[in-house]
Copies of this chain bind each other. A is one copy, B any other.
Amino acid sequence: MTLKFHTPLPPLGHLVSLFTYYKGYQPGHRIDRFLPDGNVELVIDLTDFPKQVYDNETLAVRHSFRRAWISGLRKEFISIHAGQDAEMFVITFQKGAARAITGMPLTELTEQVVEGDLVFGPPILALREALLEAVSPETKMRAAERRLLAMAGGDLQPNPFVQYAVNQILLHPGQLSLEALSNKVGYSQKHLIQLFKEHVGLPPKAFLRIIRFQRAIAEIEQRGGIEWSHLALDCGYYDQAHFIRDFKRFSGFTPEEYLRRKNGVVNYVPVG
């Protein structure tokens, strides 16, 4: 299996946090539950086989995507193709920065997976072609950098107010009042929420809950023996009862169940 990562430098690095390329991953299962991770991703499938999104309960096929698609912010998990026989190039955007490339309010992508050409038009297929032509993972990364810079046009600066708000949330998930935040940003609470939604795709509090959940997920990965009540408080939950409730809302699993079922890949849990 090939698995390569690349972190673009600025100015593209302001918009894109990570490129991931993989090929030949052969998991022992067909379907993954993909947890809300607070990221917007542009996925380019370098094979010709469509990839499915399944119904969370029945695991029946719901949607099918080919070549390129973009997945917006989600508050719910989705059930997706686990990646057998796949060759994928995944572009993960910086949080709150995707708008400069998508050119549309991020709310329009929220809770959705959307065909790439509906968002980007023909340039996305050109990007895919370029990726197919590039032979090594490294040249693919460079091709992607070039094409994305072109697609972004001149506008490579994410909105600084939103950026500040996003960073505050990333720094202090847990205790953070929207009132304090909007005061610091200098906009009215209502305006900040509008701005935030437009650039991030979710209102600030909802985004914060996802970040808090992700912090819990990260702690679970790192810690050995886990005491849920300590972990809950450390991650900013009021107590472990609330932690478990949130955990289940976002992941569909209770924490113990998640521990039992998770395998190596964070945010992807085998379900079928």
Contact = CB atoms under 8 A, between A and B. Distances in A.
Contacts of A230: 233
Contacts of A229: 229, 233, 238-239
Integer count of this chain's copies in the complex: 2
A219 to B, nearest CB: 15
A245 to B, nearest CB: 13
From DSSP, what is the main secondary structure of chain A's interface residues? helix
A52 interface: no
A240 to B, nearest CB: 5
Interface in A160-179: none
A241 interface: yes
> Which of A232, A233, A241 counts the most chain B CB atoms within 10 A?
A233
Interface in A231-269: 232-233, 238-241
A232 B232 CA distance: 13
Contacts of A241: 239, 241
A204 B72 CA distance: 56
A229 B240 CA distance: 9
The 6 A-B pairs at the shortest CB distance, nearest first, are namely A229-B239, A239-B240, A239-B239, A229-B233, A229-B238, A241-B241
